[in-house]
């Protein structure tokens, strides 16, 4: 092996490393660009009036995004009510029944659900709820978002509970504790941190979803607490204002984007903290 | 001699088609320590898991024959009730990690929704911890989680938890195999003191421990009960050749 | 007499009843998942019937989408979807592969690893509509300037812009899976190669990548699935034009974006049903891709 050949190989190695570094770092440039742009354009729009006032028609000064903030909160509430109990119990079933036909098909369906485009879920919620009710509503939006949350909650519950050692279940059963109490009062609490993390991460995901809300929650210029009427939401507002021709609305949309991104970020940080601080050691 | 507290009649246990216990006829004397020993795979853990009906929790597991606790057929009673009468301590200490020491000891009652006054609970916790020889070490820390306890202390906590239910029989499945020698001797001393209150069935693969601690010994081999009798006889003049071979270490 | 679970039925007290009902509850919730997915498929199918009956298989090949004359051909959207997704995939592969190697080979632990990992997670967490918003105000003018330089019509919006923003969005997905499978390559294989005097690059090229090849493919497949279904960012920069795009700089529409744009305006049974049929297509295609992708990943993680 001549010295030259070796040098060429080392050169190729260094060039390759250079490529890897270049492309890796280049990938996160958009992140900085986007975050920088959101902060630059959005932070100027955020003030007390912005957060507490309703949107004003074009041309009028002022206006805020209060109804979108409230709307997003209500939608999150509805979707959690639907998906969290259902998802956790399905996850318990899967961790208690590793084998079996139903377990196989359930896992398959959860995977399918996870990969389903959000706009298709929006269509489904439209067909199942908006059409029979003959109106757009927060409820239908919450159902759509709930369906989107389900796969993640089922998966994290199953993974978390699988990590709980079997000896814990046996210790409880050997004490004469009935099965359902064993699951609810011994196994579930032991896996609480993981399950909670899954819920928080799911919320962070659906908080920014727009497509399923386009023909369910639909959006509204008013403040609305009636879940059977259309409701505004942060992502909907951003979409509507961003694609409008009015620059004041663009500014508002940047402000709303800022709020949304901060919210998603905080949720993810809390989820990480919960995963670490509340983790039960076995 | 007193009547035995537990009797098995023609007990056979299966995992699927595999028969792991063959026609066991065993009488456990009350208020004594009975050791069940034998090489790995002989069925000793399966045997005690039949006594508190934990064996049937495994899918595909079956049992035939009868077991009588104080004359009652345990298959004619609810397994939940049975498990309150028969306590179990496992090989690896398993205190409930989300509960503190106090809650662990009283867990059997709380998880069953049995309402007791605070005074009664305090009394039960203190009694059980004293019986398990753990009270002095933890009495100022009962509201802390048990994770700071050593392995031996955790195991005594599990014993206290089982004792809190006032069981008639306490099943110990190799309780010291995960512990160091000092902790082991604590537990052995504990076992000897406990037998006046509760009948003890001890599964162990440690022959010396069985010889030290037990009053009666049953020797199991390949799912069959080879020999049963007072420990001092079984260990000195075993009747069956296989027992003798096991005791002299011919096979593990 | 053999005593098994059925023998217990004689002794049912309240504990057995509570266990029975609890287990049935768990069973039912798991069943709900299956029922949900089946119901989704059936709903999409049923509501596509009017359109299916009228246009049959010609729907997939029809070039004209004209609601006014009740003509619905989905080919423009199929092509739009395929173009944007594959272009996005192509653009994203060097980036996601590099990240996979960065995190899986070069810097598996340490501060650089944590920084990149957090950055990628953040990238994946930004909502789609915000990507679209940013793309509308930053990428579109950029592409417009490029188009002016190239002497073509400066739409700004179009397939190319949509592919760009889509590429950025799917990088985290294939990167994550790629990293997993690259880390799964047994270290003794790599060490054997190193001890023979191979450089890092050679080990990666000849040992790591071939070993992890199917896993990386799976990651790409899953990223593709994600790209196919991505709606908001694409809708905002693709130009909302219902014709077959002439080239990559033309405005167009994807299956997802035409649904987003026209669903609420859809009057008439056939119109709505045609849109639902597009949704059905989307659902079936993404489901198949996702299942194949996950099967490959599962097989890889079991084999090792």
- Select, from the ranges A28-37, B38-47, B158-167, C186-195, the one with the highest average predicted confidence (pLDDT): B158-167
Write out chain B residues lying below 8 Å of A186, CB-based: 96, 98, 111
pLDDT tens profile C175-233: 988 888 888 888 888 889 989 888 888 888 888 888 888 888 888 888 999 899 899 99
pLDDT tens profile C58-94: 788 888 888 777 778 889 999 999 999 999 999 999 9
Say whether both C108 and C222 belong to one domain: yes
| CB neighbour list of residue B179: distance below 8 Å, 6 or more residues apart | B151, B152, B155, B187
B80 Cα to chain A: minimum distance (Å): 5
Domain-wise residue ranges, chain B: 6-247
Question: Which residue of chain B comes nearest to C13, CA vs CA?
Answer: B78
Say whether both C70 and C15 belong to one domain: no
**A177, B110 contact by CB (below 8 A):** no
User: Is the CB of B56 less than 8 angstroms away from the CB of C7?
Assistant: no
Write out chain C residues lying below 8 Å of A235, CB-based: 127, 129, 232
B219 Cα to chain A: minimum distance (Å): 25
Indicate the pLDDT class of residue C2, thresholds 50, 70 and 90: very low
Give the Cβ contact number of residue C156 at 10 Å.
22
Say whether both C197 and C48 belong to one domain: no
Question: What number is the ipTM of this complex?
Answer: 0.90
User: Is the CB of A170 less than 8 angstroms away from the CB of B90?
Assistant: yes
A223 Cα to chain C: minimum distance (Å): 22
User: Is the CB of B75 less than 8 angstroms away from the CB of C11?
Assistant: yes
Say whether both C209 and C276 belong to one domain: yes
Say whether both C51 and C182 belong to one domain: no
pLDDT tens profile C233-283: 999 999 899 988 888 899 999 999 999 999 988 888 888 999 999 999 999
**B56, B9 contact by CB (below 8 A):** no
Q: Which of A6-15, A52-61, A262-271, C20-29 has the lowest mean pLDDT?
A: A52-61
Cα gap C262→C254, rounded to integer Å:
12
The rounded mean pLDDT for chain B is 90
Instruction: Give Dmax over CA atoms of chain C in angstroms.
Output: 91
**C187, C279 contact by CB (below 8 A):** no
Determine the pLDDT at residue C304.
54
pLDDT tens profile A247-280: 888 888 999 999 999 999 999 999 999 998 888 8
Q: Is B69 on the interface with A (CB under 8 A)?
A: no
Rg (CA), chain B: 18
Average pLDDT over residues B187-199: 91
* Among B71, B58, B59, residue whose Cα is nearest residue B4: B71
Determine the pLDDT at residue A170.
93
Determine the pLDDT at residue B164.
94
Q: What are phi and psi of C244, to 5 degrees?
A: -65, 125
Determine the pLDDT at residue B107.
93
For B216, the 3-state DSSP assignment is strand
Rg (CA), chain C: 25
Say whether both C222 and C245 belong to one domain: yes
* Among B137, B66, B73, B68, residue whose Cα is nearest residue B101: B137
Determine the pLDDT at residue C11.
45
Say whether both C71 and C153 belong to one domain: yes
| CB neighbour list of residue A100: distance below 8 Å, 6 or more residues apart | none
Cα dihedral A72, A74, A79, A85 sign: positive
Q: How many alpha carbons fall within 13 Å on the CB side of residue C248?
A: 14
Average pLDDT over residues A207-227: 91
Q: Higher pLDDT residue, B56 or B34?
A: B34
Determine the pLDDT at residue A221.
86
User: Is the CB of C276 less than 8 angstroms away from the CB of A123?
Assistant: yes
Indicate the pLDDT class of residue B246, thresholds 50, 70 and 90: confident
Determine the pLDDT at residue C4.
44
**C171, C124 contact by CB (below 8 A):** no
Cα gap A110→C298, rounded to integer Å:
15
CA distances to A184, A194, A233, A272, C34 from A199, rounded to whole Å, are 18, 9, 20, 12, 21
Among B62, B76, B77, beta carbon nearest to C4: B62
Which residue of B80, B82, B112 is the best one to mutate when testing the C interface, meaning the one whose CB has the most C CBs within 10 A?
A: B80
* Among B151, B34, B176, residue whose Cα is nearest residue B94: B151
Q: Is the pLDDT of residue C1 over 50?
A: no
Q: Is the pLDDT of residue A59 over 80?
A: no
Q: Identify the CATH number of the domain in which residue C260 sits.
A: 1.10.3720.10
Average pLDDT over residues B132-138: 91
Say whether both C81 and C189 belong to one domain: yes
User: Is the CB of B62 less than 8 angstroms away from the CB of C15?
Assistant: no
Determine the pLDDT at residue C150.
86
By DSSP bridging, strand B61-69 and strand B72-73 are antiparallel
Angle of the C111-125 helix axis to the A247-277 helix axis, nearest 10? 130
Write out chain B residues lying below 8 Å of A279, CB-based: none
Q: How many alpha carbons fall within 13 Å on the CB side of residue B164?
A: 30
Question: Which residue of chain C comes nearest to B15, CA vs CA?
Answer: C4
The rounded mean pLDDT for chain C is 87
Q: Which of A70-74, A243-247, A258-262 has the lowest mean pLDDT?
A: A243-247
Q: What are phi and psi of C150, to 5 degrees?
A: -85, -5
User: Is the CB of B77 less than 8 angstroms away from the CB of C3?
Assistant: no
Say whether both C129 and C195 belong to one domain: yes
* Among A227, A200, A154, residue whose Cα is nearest residue C37: A154
Indicate the pLDDT class of residue C162, thresholds 50, 70 and 90: very high
Write out chain A residues lying below 8 Å of B54, CB-based: 170, 173-174
Q: Is the pLDDT of residue C10 over 60?
A: no
For C:149-188, CB contacts with A below 8 A are 168, 171, 175
Instruction: List helix spans (H) across B106-180.
Output: 107-110, 118-131, 135-138, 151-163
Neighbours of chain B (3+ CB pairs under 8 A): A, C
Residue A243 CA, chain-centre distance (Å), reads 24
* Among B81, B90, B57, B111, residue whose Cα is nearest residue A186: B111
Cα gap C136→C229, rounded to integer Å:
19
**Does domain B6-247 bear CATH number 3.40.50.300?**
yes
Q: Is the pLDDT of residue B252 over 60?
A: no
Determine the pLDDT at residue B113.
83
Which residue of C128, C130, C267 is the best one to mutate when testing the A interface, meaning the one whose CB has the most A CBs within 10 A?
A: C130
Q: Over the range C181-200, which residues count as b (16 or more CB within 10 Å of their CB) and which as e?
A: bbbbbeeeebeebeeeebbb
Q: Is the pLDDT of residue C12 over 60?
A: no
Cα gap C23→C9, rounded to integer Å:
15
The DSSP letter of residue B100 is B
Determine the pLDDT at residue B88.
95
Which residue of B98, B103, B170 is the best one to mutate when testing the A interface, meaning the one whose CB has the most A CBs within 10 A?
A: B98
Determine the pLDDT at residue C214.
84
Say whether both C76 and C194 belong to one domain: yes
Give the domains, in start order, of chain A with CATH numbers.
67-277 (1.10.3720.10)
**How far from each other are the two terminal CA atoms of chain A, in whole angstroms?**
55
- As a three-state string, the secondary structure of chain A is CCHHHHHHHHHHHHHHHHHHHHHHHHHHHHHHHHHHHHHHHHCCCCCHHHHHCCCCCCCCCCCCCHHHHHHHHHHHHHHHHHHHHHHHHHHHHHHHCCCCHHHHHHHHHHHHHHHCCHHHHHHHHHHHHHHHHCCCCHHHHHHHHHHHHHHHHHHHHHHHHHHCCHHHHHHHHHCCCCHHHHHHHHHHHHCHHHHHHHHHHHHHHHHCCCHHHCCCCECCCCCCCCCCCCECCHHHHHHHHHCCCCHHHHHHHHHHHHHHHHHHHHHHHHHHHHHHHCCCCC
Question: Which residue of chain A comes nearest to B53, CA vs CA?
Answer: A174
Say whether both C69 and C25 belong to one domain: no
Determine the pLDDT at residue C17.
83
Q: What are phi and psi of C72, to 5 degrees?
A: -125, 105
* Domain range for C18: 5-57
Write out chain B residues lying below 8 Å of A189, CB-based: 98
User: Is the CB of B78 less than 8 angstroms away from the CB of C11?
Assistant: yes
CA distances to C182, C208, C303 from C298, rounded to whole Å, are 14, 18, 9
Determine the pLDDT at residue A207.
95
CA distances to A127, B77, C162, C271 from C92, rounded to whole Å, are 35, 65, 13, 35
Q: Over the range A42-74, which residues count as b (16 or more CB within 10 Å of their CB) and which as e?
A: beebbeeebeebbbeeeeeeebbbbbbbbbbeb
**B73, B67 contact by CB (below 8 A):** yes
pLDDT tens profile B2-17: 788 999 999 999 998 8
Write out chain B residues lying below 8 Å of A172, CB-based: 96, 107, 111
pLDDT tens profile A107-121: 999 999 999 999 999
């Amino acid at each position: 092996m001549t010295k030259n050949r070796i040098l060429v190989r080392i050169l190729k190695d260094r060039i390759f490393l250079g490529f890897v570094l270049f492309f890796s770092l280049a990938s996160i440039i958009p992140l900085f660009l986007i975050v920088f742009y959101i902060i630059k354009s959005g932070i100027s729009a955020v003030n007390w009036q912005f957060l507490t006032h309703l949107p004003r028609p074009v041309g009028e000064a002022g206006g805020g995004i209060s109804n979108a903030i409230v709307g997003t909160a209500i939608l999150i509430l509805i979707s959690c009510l639907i998906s969290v109990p259902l998802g956790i119990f399905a996850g318990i079933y899967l961790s208690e029944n590793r084998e079996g036909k139903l377990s196989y098909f359930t896992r398959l369906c959860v995977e399918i659900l996870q990969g389903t485009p959000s706009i298709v879920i929006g269509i489904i919620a439209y067909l199942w709820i908006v059409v029979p009710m003959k109106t757009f509503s927060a409820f239908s939006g919450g159902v759509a978002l709930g369906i989107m949350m389900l796969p993640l909650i089922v998966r994290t519950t199953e993974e978390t509970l699988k990590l709980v050692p079997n000896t814990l279940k046996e210790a409880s059963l050997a004490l004469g504790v009935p099965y359902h109490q064993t699951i609810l009062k011994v196994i579930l609490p032991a896996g609480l941190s993981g399950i909670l993390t899954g819920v928080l991460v799911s919320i962070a995901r659906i908080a920014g979803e727009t497509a399923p809300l386009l023909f369910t929650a639909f959006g509204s210029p008013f403040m609305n607490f009636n879940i059977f009427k259309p409701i505004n939401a942060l992502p909907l507002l951003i979409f509507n204002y961003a694609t409008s021709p009015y620059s004041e609305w663009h500014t508002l949309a940047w402000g709303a984007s800022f709020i949304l991104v901060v919210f998603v970020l905080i949720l993810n940080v809390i989820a990480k903290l919960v995963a670490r601080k509340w983790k039960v050691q076995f | 001699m007193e009547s035995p507290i537990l009797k098995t009649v023609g007990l056979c246990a299966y995992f699927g088609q595999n028969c792991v216990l063959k026609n066991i006829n065993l009488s456990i004397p009350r208020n004594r320590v009975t050791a069940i020993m034998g090489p790995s795979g002989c069925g000793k853990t399966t045997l005690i898991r039949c006594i508190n009906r934990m064996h049937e929790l495994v899918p595909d597991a079956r049992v035939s024959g009868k077991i009588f606790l104080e004359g009652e057929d345990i298959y004619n009673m609810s397994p939940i009730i049975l498990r309150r009468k028969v306590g179990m301590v496992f090989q690896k200490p398993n205190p409930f990690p989300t509960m503190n020491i106090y809650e662990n000891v009283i867990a059997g009652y709380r998880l069953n929704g049995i309402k007791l006054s605070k005074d009664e609970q305090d009394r039960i916790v203190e009694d059980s911890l004293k019986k398990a020889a753990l009270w002095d070490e933890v009495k100022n820390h009962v509201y802390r989680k048990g994770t700071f306890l050593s392995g031996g202390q955790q195991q005594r906590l599990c014993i206290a938890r089982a004792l809190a239910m006032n069981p008639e029989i306490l099943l110990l499945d190799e309780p010291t195999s995960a512990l160091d020698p000092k902790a082991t001797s604590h537990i052995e001393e504990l076992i000897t003191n406990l037998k006046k209150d509760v009948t003890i069935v001890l599964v162990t693969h440690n022959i010396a421990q069985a010889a030290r601690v037990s009053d009666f010994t049953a020797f199991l081999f390949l799912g069959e009960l080879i020999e049963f009798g007072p420990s001092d006889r079984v260990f000195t003049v075993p009747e069956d050749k296989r027992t003798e071979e096991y005791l002299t270490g011919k096979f593990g | 007499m053999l005593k098994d679970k059925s023998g217990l039925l004689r002794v049912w007290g309240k504990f057995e009843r509570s266990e029975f009902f609890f287990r049935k509850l768990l069973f039912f919730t798991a069943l709900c998942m299956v029922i949900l997915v089946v119901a989704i498929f059936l709903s999409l199918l049923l509501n596509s019937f009017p359109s299916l009956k009228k246009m049959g298989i010609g729907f997939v090949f029809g070039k004209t989408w004209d609601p006014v004359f009740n003509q619905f051909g989905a080919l423009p959207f199929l092509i739009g979807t395929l173009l944007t997704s594959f272009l996005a995939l192509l653009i994203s592969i060097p980036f996601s592969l590099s990240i996979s190697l960065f995190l899986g080979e070069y810097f598996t632990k340490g501060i650089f690893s944590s920084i990149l990992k957090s950055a990628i997670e953040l990238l994946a967490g930004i909502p789609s509509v915000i990507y679209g918003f940013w793309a509308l105000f930053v990428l579109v003018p950029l592409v417009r300037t490029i188009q002016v330089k190239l002497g073509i019509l400066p739409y700004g919006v179009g397939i190319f812009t949509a592919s760009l923003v889509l590429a950025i969005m799917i990088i985290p997905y294939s990167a994550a899976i790629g990293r997993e499978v690259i880390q799964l390559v047994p270290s003794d294989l790599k060490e054997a190669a190193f001890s023979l005097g191979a450089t890092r690059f050679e080990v990666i090229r000849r040992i790591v990548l071939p070993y992890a090849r199917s896993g990386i493919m799976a990651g790409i497949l899953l990223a593709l699935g994600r790209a196919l279904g991505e709606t908001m960012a694409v809708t905002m920069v693709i130009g909302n034009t219902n014709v077959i795009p002439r080239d990559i700089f033309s405005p167009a529409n994807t299956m997802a974006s035409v649904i987003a744009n026209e669903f609420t305006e859809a009057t008439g049974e056939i119109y709505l049903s045609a849109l639902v049929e597009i949704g059905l297509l989307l659902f079936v295609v993404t489901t198949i891709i996702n299942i194949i992708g996950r099967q490959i990943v599962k097989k890889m993680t079991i084999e090792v």
